[in-house]
Chains A and B, each alone.
Chain A
Amino acid sequence: MCWIEYQVLQLLGEDKAVQLHAVEESFTGTLSDKIINSSMVMLAILIGLLTILTWHFTRIYTTKSLNSLAYGLRNELLQRPISRMWNIINSTTEITTAQLKLSEYVFRRYNKPATQAEQVELYEVMRDITWALFASRKALNAITINYKNGFVQAFHRDHRSNNTFYIYSDLTNYSISAGGSNEINLLSSHQSWKDQSIHGNISAIWYQEPLDPVTGEKIGKAKPIPPDDLIKIAGLSQVPDGVASWHVAVSKYTDSPLLSAALPVWDPSNESIVAVVGVTTALYSVGQLMKELVEVHSGHIYLTSKEGYLLATSTNAPLLTNTTKGPKLMMAVDSEEKVIKMGARWLQGAYGNNFSQRHEIHAENARLGQEQYFIDSFFLKLKRLPLVGVIIIPRKNIMGKVDERAFKTLVILISASLCILFIGCICIFILTNGVSKEMKLRAELISHLDARRRAEASSNYKSQFLANMSHELRTPMAAVIGLLDILISDDCLTNEQFSTVTQIRKCSTALLRLLNNILDLSKVESGKLVLEETEFDLGRELEGLVDMFSVQCINHNVETVLDLSDNMPKIVRGDSARVVQIFANLISNSLKFTTSGHIIIRGWCENSNSSFDIGKFPLNQKKSRPAHKTKLKEQGSHTKKACKQDNRMTLRFEVDDTGCGIDPSKWESVFESFEQADPSTTRTHGGTGLGLCIVRTLVNKMGGEIKVAKKDGPGTLMQLYLLLTTPVDGTEQHCQVDFSKQNLVVLLALRGRMGRLIMSQWLHKIGLFTVEASEWNELTQILRELFRIRSSVYNNGFDAQFSLSEPLSTKVMNIKDMRNPAFIILVDIGLLDLSTDIWKEQLNFLDSYFGKARFAWMLSHDTPNAIKMELRRKGHMLMVNMPLYKEKMIHILEAVIKERNLEGQKKSSNTLRTTKEGDLHEYLEIDATQFDVASSDDSDISEIGSSNSVSGSQTGEKRRERLRKPGSSGYQAINNCLVELTRVYSEENYSTERDPCHVRLNSHDVQNEEPKCCTRASLSSEAQSESSEQHLVISCPTAQGNIYSSKAANEQKSLEGVRILLAEDNPVLQRVASIMLEKLGATVFAVGDGLQAVDALNCILGAEDCIRESIFEDRNTRTQTEIKDFPSYDLILMDCQMPKMDGYEATEIIRKSEAGTGLHIPIVALTAHAMSSDEAKCLEVGMDAYLTKPIDYKLMVSTILSLTKRTA
């Protein structure tokens, strides 16, 4: 259920993650889009504004200044013709005025001419005066005087022909009387005078007299002309109200309009007009000036009268139209000059007909035809003759460059701004692209973080779950194991049942280990793995491991070979369980992929301090191996010495198999979690792919490295090294019998090639002769050869009729030379043909050599009992289980030597022989009884393996239990023997010479045993176990296997004299624990909580009656030194969870008070939690060991023993 829930939770989590991710993506997408869009729009607006502003300002300011300049120019242009006109008008006025004044003067002088003569004289004077005035002004066209009586005098200048004329009317027509008669009416009716005179004038005849323009002398004859033909004489009609008047006139003979002024001349009494003076000026010069101006500036200027008649233009276009009635003034709108015409029309259209009435006009953008013009008009207020001046200038003349520049500027600006916009957009795009990329990355990062959080959380859940599960499962497992223990200690079981129960017990422990492994796995995964530091026998652990796996190997047809070099330290410090785990994983891994061939575990020591060549480590070539090894062995002794100085050792190992191998590309990845070299193999081989991962983690944790190395043949070569420390005093190893002096010849009849090879190499090295045989026929051949030759030595008879191979025969020859050799024949049970009954015959064949050589049989775990029985019956007592490794070989050799010496003795002393008749029925089953399954574990290890490997110890144990029963005295004796034997063995180890008395002891020991038990007992191995126990008890509290024996050895009172302070709040548990401990002989003081424990420690407890009394206030003041003098407790059992003060706190206080005194009371924690974190916490506060509730009896004993012995 839990699992399912957990999975569902995970699934839900993933769903959420997907959603979240999608949201994030869309979010970032829209955001970046928005940013790009908005920033681009902003930039565009900005640049557009900038462009327009720039253009506007440059243009407007230039235009403005230019406009003002243009205005000035236009004004100037117009001012000049106007001033010229003013000049003309002024001079005309002046002349007129002067004429007027002179006329008045003359009239006053000749007032009332009475006679004709006077009248003529008056006219003469008037003529002279007028001439003088006329001559002084060259610009004048004409001066006319029209008298009251109709007489006309006039000077006229023709500018074209440059002729000057004097025009006068016929005098005869005019009478003075007529003049006088009219005088009365003059005031009353001017009109009648005028009409009369006009009529009179019309009827009159005028004479034209050419004059010299300079002198005024008459140069030609006068000729009559019709009146008003040549010039217009200003009459009364021109001055109707008696004031001066102006008007524009045209004449037949000039093509330009004339400006004429008329002034009345009053008589001296100022009552009547006596004459009208008229002055006419041509406007020709104004036009000339205009032309000149326009030539410089181009454009057009014209002057019009108020009514719109053209007076002067800057062009040569005619100003007059010839009609039937004579020349007439032209309207500006009808002008032949196109521009003027269009301008006048434009003005008319824009301002109506009477535009001139208004103020001046300045139009800048008048479009005339295809072009634009400036049009300006000015208004001149002349009396009775208002004038309008108009200037039309093509715009391009003034503003052309400016407009062009402005246009160019605009174009440049626009293109520039477009460029900027484009570049800006690109910039923004790049920028926002980067930003959006960053955003995306961030989103990804966020999601990754989230994923990591979730992964961590789920990993947490997992480890939590695993821890909880294992915790929950441990309880029933403990029950199962406990029940099995009870069953095992029960006597009423049959042998079959006993072995079954033992198997179940082993399986249960294996299962419990599995649970612990799950805890380990979570520890490894979370990196919280803490390696313990205990001493252990590395070689023995590996041997046990190989023993265990060999069972599987045999099934697989695979040979497991353990090849440890002699310089390997025997005892190392480290985490034995982890080291074994490493190798178990590696071996099981190799085994999984190896279907045939061999698996070799090589190990040698390499000390970084010694002069050893480390460079040789990567042993790529298999061939280099032997050479390397011999070198290694030569230096072995030196290395050993060096090792003693420096505790840290580099232990190198190789696991070499002949399996399917690993592809070089996968050499690294196989160490990853859940990784297998070939996924397809999962189906055939199974496994989770966690094994190698754990191995690497562990190896790295131990300061080593692991890798896959190149190998010549098929298969895989794993190389690893570990950094382990050796204890300073661990020097008793490697001391073995010098076999080379024993003249031993070993015939290795083993099926496994590698094992045989390595074993024979090693035997050679230690000075023994070996002969190898791989199958039955070879064995028989060698045997025949060997013993035939030998017998031939004695008998001098037979020829060599069996052909042996060359090296073999030389070997045999060498052996032949030996003096009194002892033969040991190691026979693999697999050499016998077990399928049929032939094996019996084969045995019989071998029997014939029984006296000449010692046989040692290599059994496999599935060897049928019948064969074993048969062997036993035939007296083959030396049997070992496969596989064969050095330790076993040494045992065999020692047994053989022992036996030989015994025989030697037997021969020498017959008495001894008789007493020990049955001694030789000794069955030596050499096995790794010491091997402790609890420390070597892996989930892949088959149950068979584990159960098999420990069966020996169980058997031994059971036997001992039974031995105990018949009588304590008997047992005691055996026990003594065992102890003695131990000593003997250790002495043996040191001495090369054998002492006969030891044999006696040995045989004595055997004698005491029941024959039936003897068959299953392994004496030498027991002795071995006993000797190694002495240190194992101290160093390895978790080794359960040892506890059995220690329990047996120490009988019940193993804790005799140990004083224990028990701090436990639970009365039930307190009672149970006390009884348990007391049963073991310990003295127990129980207290209820941590506070009491601390108090109890602080006072001296001399008496037993302090039990359950905890608080001794009066004794609290005891000093530290006193405590030092009287250490009251050997050990404290401390419950962790207690009221008032819990175990952690109490421990901390105790350790604090101990600080500086050199005291250290071992404190063992008791806790209900089985989590590793609790253990860590316990050790952290200063506790020495750790027991879980409910209390495991044996574990408790071993823990207490190890702690008290260490301190004792």
Chain B
Amino acid sequence: MDGVAQLQKQLVDFTDSLFQEGFLDEQFNQLQQLQDESNPDFVVEVVSLFFEDSERLLNELAKALEQKTIDFRKVDAHVHQFKGSSSSIGAQRVQKVCIAFRNYCEEQNIEGVKPWHRCLKCLQQVKLEYSLVKNKLETLFKIEKQLIAAGGSIPT
């Protein structure tokens, strides 16, 4: 039981740190609230959906930015989607970077100047944030799994 308590504490601390560091926001809490007996793995399901979707979007973004003439409308749409999905799971920092990226895209549309390396920089930032949040979430789920395996319940 001692291990369970420790695991629980670890989980709570980790979750707190995630919130404090701004990786997640209240939307994630909502997700957790939505999880109940009927949908026991709801959070994991949604988050993995998010991972899939994100990988796809990131690939497409990378592809779009490799083009000689960058279709900023397309990039914008992708980023918008990415922003939407990240905000839905509460991945706050990803969302912020997306917003910055989008603003940049809009500027591009207006000015018509296309220094694509700055776009790439944005993309890299997005990727970085994404991988960060992915790692964190995966760690979180791992701890949760361990906790459940140890027979403890997830503290809410």
Binding site for B on A (CB under 8 A): 472, 475, 478-479, 481-483, 485-486, 1065-1069, 1071-1072, 1075-1076, 1079, 1137, 1139, 1168, 1189-1190, 1193
Task: List, in ascending order, chain A residues with CB within 8 A of B125's CB.
Answer: none
Cα-based distance from A1193 to B36 in the complex (angstroms): 16
Task: List, in ascending order, chain B residues with CB within 8 A of A486's CB.
Answer: 26, 29, 33
B25 to A1068, Cβ gap below 8 A?
Answer: no
Task: List, in ascending order, chain B residues with CB within 8 A of A479's CB.
Answer: 25-27, 92
Cα-based distance from A581 to B125 in the complex (angstroms): 43
The one of B26, B77, B89 that contacts A1068, using a Cβ cutoff of 8 Å? B89
Identity of the chain B residue whose Cβ is nearest the Cβ of A1139 in the assembled complex? B77
Task: List, in ascending order, chain A residues with CB within 8 A of B30's CB.
Answer: 482, 1072, 1076, 1193
Task: Decide if B31 is an interface residue (CB 8 Å cutoff).
Answer: yes
B88 to A1066, Cβ gap below 8 A?
Answer: yes
Cα-based distance from A1076 to B36 in the complex (angstroms): 11
Min CB distance B126 to A, Å, is 16
A1168 to B87, Cβ gap below 8 A?
Answer: yes
Cα-based distance from A472 to B27 in the complex (angstroms): 16
B45 to A482, Cβ gap below 8 A?
Answer: no
Cα-based distance from A1190 to B77 in the complex (angstroms): 18
Pull 24 A–B residue pairs with CB atoms less than 8 Å apart, ordered by A. Answer: A475-B95, A479-B92, A482-B29, A482-B30, A485-B26, A1066-B84, A1067-B50, A1067-B52, A1067-B85, A1068-B46, A1068-B50, A1068-B84, A1068-B89, A1069-B88, A1071-B45, A1071-B49, A1072-B30, A1072-B89, A1075-B42, A1076-B30, A1168-B84, A1168-B87, A1190-B27, A1190-B87
Cα-based distance from A542 to B54 in the complex (angstroms): 50
Cα-based distance from A1075 to B49 in the complex (angstroms): 14
Task: List, in ascending order, chain A residues with CB within 8 A of B52's CB.
Answer: 1067
Extra contacts besides A1066-B85, A1067-B53 (9): CB < 8 Å: A1066-B53, A1066-B81, A1066-B88, A1068-B85, A1071-B46, A1075-B42, A1137-B80, A1168-B83, A1189-B87
Identity of the chain A residue whose Cβ is nearest the Cβ of B99 in the assembled complex? A472
Task: List, in ascending order, chain B residues with CB within 8 A of A1071's CB.
Answer: 45-46, 49
Task: List, in ascending order, chain B residues with CB within 8 A of A482's CB.
Answer: 25-27, 29-30
Min CB distance A488 to B, Å, is 12
Task: List, in ascending order, chain A residues with CB within 8 A of B92's CB.
Answer: 479
The one of B34, B87, B89 that contacts A1075, using a Cβ cutoff of 8 Å? B34
Task: List, in ascending order, chain B residues with CB within 8 A of A1079's CB.
Answer: 34, 36
B84 to A483, Cβ gap below 8 A?
Answer: no
Give the interface size bracket for B toward A: 20 to 34
Min CB distance A516 to B, Å, is 19
Instruction: List residues of B (7-36) whose CB comes within 8 Å of A's CBs.
Output: 25-27, 29-31, 33-34, 36
Cα-based distance from A478 to B42 in the complex (angstroms): 23
A1072 to B31, Cβ gap below 8 A?
Answer: yes
Task: Decide if B39 is an interface residue (CB 8 Å cutoff).
Answer: yes
Min CB distance B153 to A, Å, is 16
Min CB distance B53 to A, Å, is 5
Q: Which 6 A-B pairs have the closest CB atoms?
A: A482-B26, A1068-B85, A1069-B88, A479-B25, A1068-B50, A1066-B84
Could you give, for residues 60-95 of chain B, a 1 whenever the CB lies within 8 Å of some chain A CB and a 0 otherwise?
A: 000000000000000001001101111111101001
Cα-based distance from A1168 to B30 in the complex (angstroms): 18
Identity of the chain A residue whose Cβ is nearest the Cβ of B57 in the assembled complex? A1066
Cα-based distance from A785 to B30 in the complex (angstroms): 64
Min CB distance A296 to B, Å, is 105
B26 to A1189, Cβ gap below 8 A?
Answer: no
A1072 to B46, Cβ gap below 8 A?
Answer: yes
Cα-based distance from A1189 to B89 in the complex (angstroms): 11
Identity of the chain B residue whose Cβ is nearest the Cβ of A471 in the assembled complex? B99
Binding site for A on B (CB under 8 A): 25-27, 29-31, 33-34, 36, 39, 42, 45-46, 49-50, 52-53, 77, 80-81, 83-90, 92, 95, 99
A1068 to B34, Cβ gap below 8 A?
Answer: no
Min CB distance A1036 to B, Å, is 24
Cα-based distance from A459 to B77 in the complex (angstroms): 29
Task: List, in ascending order, chain A residues with CB within 8 A of B27's CB.
Answer: 479, 482, 1190
Min CB distance B89 to A, Å, is 6
Q: Which one of B26, B83, B89, B99 has the highest number of Cβ atoms from chain A below 10 Å of its Cβ?
A: B26
Cα-based distance from A1079 to B31 in the complex (angstroms): 12
Known: A482-B26, A482-B29, A1168-B80. A1068 touches B39 (CB 8 A): no
Task: List, in ascending order, chain A residues with CB within 8 A of B53's CB.
Answer: 1066-1068
Identity of the chain B residue whose Cβ is nearest the Cβ of A478 in the assembled complex? B26
B49 to A1067, Cβ gap below 8 A?
Answer: yes
Min CB distance B65 to A, Å, is 19
Identity of the chain A residue whose Cβ is nearest the Cβ of B24 in the assembled complex? A479
Known: A1067-B53, A1139-B77. A483 touches B29 (CB 8 A): yes
Task: List, in ascending order, chain A residues with CB within 8 A of B95's CB.
Answer: 475
Known: A479-B26, A482-B25, A1072-B31. A1065 touches B81 (CB 8 A): yes
Min CB distance B133 to A, Å, is 13
Task: List, in ascending order, chain B residues with CB within 8 A of A1066's CB.
Answer: 53, 81, 84-85, 88
Identity of the chain A residue whose Cβ is nearest the Cβ of B29 in the assembled complex? A486
Cα-based distance from A884 to B31 in the complex (angstroms): 45
Identity of the chain A residue whose Cβ is nearest the Cβ of B91 in the assembled complex? A1068
Min CB distance A930 to B, Å, is 27
Task: List, in ascending order, chain B residues with CB within 8 A of A472's CB.
Answer: 99
Task: List, in ascending order, chain A residues with CB within 8 A of B33's CB.
Answer: 486
Identity of the chain B residue whose Cβ is nearest the Cβ of A1064 in the assembled complex? B84
Cα-based distance from A1076 to B25 in the complex (angstroms): 17
B46 to A483, Cβ gap below 8 A?
Answer: no
Cα-based distance from A1079 to B89 in the complex (angstroms): 17
Task: List, in ascending order, chain B residues with CB within 8 A of A485's CB.
Answer: 26
Cα-based distance from A1168 to B99 in the complex (angstroms): 11
Cα-based distance from A575 to B39 in the complex (angstroms): 41
Identity of the chain A residue whose Cβ is nearest the Cβ of B32 in the assembled complex? A486
B87 to A483, Cβ gap below 8 A?
Answer: no
Cα-based distance from A763 to B39 in the complex (angstroms): 59
Cα-based distance from A1076 to B32 in the complex (angstroms): 11
Task: List, in ascending order, chain B residues with CB within 8 A of A481's CB.
Answer: 26
Known: A1079-B34, A1139-B77. A1069 touches B29 (CB 8 A): no
B34 to A1189, Cβ gap below 8 A?
Answer: no
Task: List, in ascending order, chain B residues with CB within 8 A of A1075's CB.
Answer: 34, 39, 42, 46
Cα-based distance from A481 to B26 in the complex (angstroms): 9
B26 to A483, Cβ gap below 8 A?
Answer: yes
Min CB distance B49 to A, Å, is 5
Cα-based distance from A1069 to B46 in the complex (angstroms): 9
Identity of the chain B residue whose Cβ is nearest the Cβ of A483 in the assembled complex? B26
Cα-based distance from A1072 to B89 in the complex (angstroms): 8
Cα-based distance from A1066 to B53 in the complex (angstroms): 8
Min CB distance B116 to A, Å, is 23
Task: List, in ascending order, chain B residues with CB within 8 A of A478's CB.
Answer: 26
Task: List, in ascending order, chain A residues with CB within 8 A of B46's CB.
Answer: 1068, 1071-1072, 1075
Min CB distance B125 to A, Å, is 18
Cα-based distance from A1168 to B92 in the complex (angstroms): 14
Identity of the chain A residue whose Cβ is nearest the Cβ of B83 in the assembled complex? A1168
Cα-based distance from A1017 to B147 in the complex (angstroms): 41
Identity of the chain B residue whose Cβ is nearest the Cβ of A472 in the assembled complex? B99
Cα-based distance from A542 to B34 in the complex (angstroms): 38
Cα-based distance from A1065 to B25 in the complex (angstroms): 22
Task: List, in ascending order, chain B residues with CB within 8 A of A1072's CB.
Answer: 30-31, 34, 46, 88-89
Cα-based distance from A1075 to B38 in the complex (angstroms): 10
Min CB distance B21 to A, Å, is 13
Task: List, in ascending order, chain A residues with CB within 8 A of B25's CB.
Answer: 479, 482
The one of A475, A483, A1067, A1076 that contacts B34, using a Cβ cutoff of 8 Å? A1076
Min CB distance A144 to B, Å, is 133
Task: List, in ascending order, chain B residues with CB within 8 A of A1189's CB.
Answer: 84, 87-88
B49 to A1068, Cβ gap below 8 A?
Answer: yes
Min CB distance B59 to A, Å, is 15
Min CB distance B34 to A, Å, is 5
Identity of the chain B residue whose Cβ is nearest the Cβ of A1072 in the assembled complex? B88
Task: List, in ascending order, chain A residues with CB within 8 A of B88's CB.
Answer: 1066, 1068-1069, 1072, 1189-1190
Min CB distance A372 to B, Å, is 91
